[in-house]
Amino acid sequence: LAKTTQPISMDSYEGQEVNITCSHNNIATNDYITWYQQFPSQGPRFIIQGYKTKVTNEVASLFIPADRKSSTLSLPRVSLSDTAVYYCLVGDRAGANNLFFGTGTRLTVIP
Amino acid sequence: KAGVTQTPRYLIKTRGQQVTLSCSPISGHRSVSWYQQTPGQGLQFLFEYFSETQRNKGNFPGRFSGRQFSNSRSEMNVSTLELGDSALYLCASSLGSGAIGTEAFFGQGTRLTVV
């Protein structure tokens, strides 16, 4: 499984757009990039997944450059309820099988 | 549809005892995986079951074991509990084992405290 590197923590004010970047220099051809969100004492929740270019859903966008060695999760207009830990995962096994979560990025949204 | 259900939500056990945790996956999901989460080690993969067979195992001692039933429900067991086993134990289900592009759905977890 490709190792990922993310900032340990980030702060943002309510209403701002937040971009969290993840480095995955050793990403393999078959690997997907998946982001999960976790609130305290709860299980992680799937946010978005992509392979290349840009993916957008109702909660976030995922930007992946051509070389796929990094990716950026973009959260538009964050609210206090977006305060959580965000994990970037890389692998060809995007199901529950042996996911490597790393340390994640703790996002704190400030009023 | 109902999400992943883990029981019990909270558990307190004494060192040396054993414990069994239960996980009911989303209907139709055949893959169930277990994770341990602690403040120091983060989220770590324990094992995965698919169609009643253990498909992958993480780097945990043999005191940690599991099984899956024909209805895809899974249990994990920890024997001879140690203080360091105190953690949030999470169960995740997905449609297939290793299916590309498949998301994992996690339960709320069981908070185990060993005293």
Q: Per residue in A57-70, pLDDT tens?
A: 999 999 999 999 99
> If you average pLDDT over residues B65-69, what whole number do you get?
97
Q: Which of B111, B90, B108, B107 is nearest to B44 (CA)?
A: B90
- Distance (Å, whole) CA B7 – CA A66: 44
Q: Which residue of A has its CA nearest to B47?
A: A98
- pLDDT, position A1: 56
- Distance (Å, whole) CA B84 – CA B38: 9
Percentage of chain B exceeding pLDDT 90: 71
Q: What pLDDT digit, counting tens, does each position of B11-34 carry? A: 999 999 999 999 999 999 888 999
- Distance (Å, whole) CA B73 – CA B6: 10
Q: 């609130």: which residue's tokens?
A: A39
**Contacts of B61 by beta carbon, 8 Å cutoff, 6+ apart:** none
Q: What pLDDT digit, counting tens, does each position of A10-57 carry? A: 999 999 999 999 999 988 888 889 999 999 889 999 999 999 999 999
* Token output for B33: 């995986």
Are A97 and B111 within 8 A, CB to CB? no
Longest dimension (CA), chain B: 41
- pLDDT, position B22: 98
CB A86 within 8 A of CB A20: yes
Q: Which residue of B has its CA nearest to A104?
A: B42
CB B100 within 8 A of CB A92: yes
- Distance (Å, whole) CA B109 – CA A86: 18
Give contacts of A96 with chain B, Cβ < 8 Å.
31-33, 48, 92-94, 104-105
Q: What pLDDT digit, counting tens, does each position of A82-109 carry? A: 999 999 988 775 455 667 788 899 999 9
